[in-house]
Amino acid sequence: MRLTVFWRNMHDQFGEAYAESLAKDYVLEGLGSRTVDQALADGVAAKEVWRAVCDAFDLPAAAR
């Protein structure tokens, strides 16, 4: 998954402003207690980060 697709998914699911805030501030256990921004900066694949977001927020199967 490309980062552009990842961010499009985030914006579609959460809205642009909330997606940016969530990525910066919300710590996800599925990412080793890191935020989305931290995980991406550490080199975690965008697809893996997206799966962690989907799991944490119980997004519908169609969003995954």
Q: What is the pLDDT of residues 35-63, one digit of tens each?
A: 999 999 999 999 999 999 999 999 988 88
Buried b (16+ CB within 10 A) or exposed e, 22-41: bbeeeebeebeebbbebbbe
| pLDDT of 18 above 90 | yes
Alpha-carbon gap, residue 1 to 47, rounded angstroms: 5
Ranges of each domain in the chain: 3-63
Which residue(s) pair with 35 in the sheet? 27
C-alpha angle 35/53/55, rounded to 5°? 130
Alpha-carbon gap, residue 13 to 20, rounded angstroms: 12
> Does the predicted TM-score (pTM) go above 0.85?
yes
